[in-house]
Every structure is written in structure tokens, then in C-alpha cells.
Amino acid sequence: MICTHCQRDIADYSNFCYYCGARQSRAADGAPRAQKRLMRSVVDHKIGGVCGGFAEYLEVDSTLIRVIWIVAIFIPVPLGLIAYLIAWIVMPLAPLPMPTAAAPSSPQTPQAV
């Protein structure tokens, strides 16, 4: 891809030119960037995956999110519990992660008896 400011060749999908520092708006022939979606987690869940989903979306530790929910539940008006139930109903479940390719195993050689 070519920098729109200094016209130098830079790596595809670069956000900034590493020669002049100009922000690149978008690669002309590149694929669109993936957008983050707020979804319940299928890999980091205790009850409904809501806290794990928020943690993945915000890119923080799920324990911190769980502590915040617990504190919100014990506030005199239990808005945390109501918000959790609404989020559990409204947030879609994330798809299962793609399995990694298994490493090919070495062929077994017969053992001499």
C-alpha cells in the first residue's frame, strides 16, 4: 500500500505510515477491518457468560468485571442484578472458537519383543 502523504510503500493494513507518521484512512484494495461485538462468552463463563463477554469486549480481565458486577448487585437498589439479567437475555451468544489444527503425530514404530 502507498502512503497517502509521503507516497512511500508501506505494509498493507497499516494505520500509520512509519516514514512520515501520517494516519492512513483505509487500504484501497484491502479487506474491511473486523469490528468488535458485545456477545456472551462461550469460553470464559461462570453463569451466563455476560461478564466474560464484557471482559473480552473491553479487553480487561474478567475477574475485574465480575467484582464490579458483585459490587453493583449489593448497592441498595439491586440494579446490578437487573442489568445482568437484561444483558443475559439481550446479548447474543458468541460462536464457538475454531479448533486448532492438531499437530501430526510421528508414525509409531513397532517395538521388538
The structural domains of the chain, with segments of one domain joined by +, span 1-30, 36-95
Q: How far is CA 34 from CA 25, 27, 30, in A?
A: 15, 14, 12
Which residues are CB-contacts of 30 (< 8 A; sequence separation ≥ 6)?
1, 12, 13
Q: Which residues pair with 9 in a beta bridge?
A: 2
Which residues are CB-contacts of 52 (< 8 A; sequence separation ≥ 6)?
40, 41, 43, 44, 45, 46, 62, 65
Q: Give pLDDT tens digits for 55-64.
A: 888 888 888 9
Catalogue the E-assigned strands of the chain.
none
Q: Which residue has the higher pLDDT, 76 or 63?
A: 63
- The structure's pTM equals 0.54
In this predicted structure, what is the pLDDT of residue 27?
A: 44
Angstrom distance (rounded) from CA 39 to CA 103:
31
Contact between 12 and 25 (Cβ < 8 Å): no
In this predicted structure, what is the pLDDT of residue 69?
A: 85
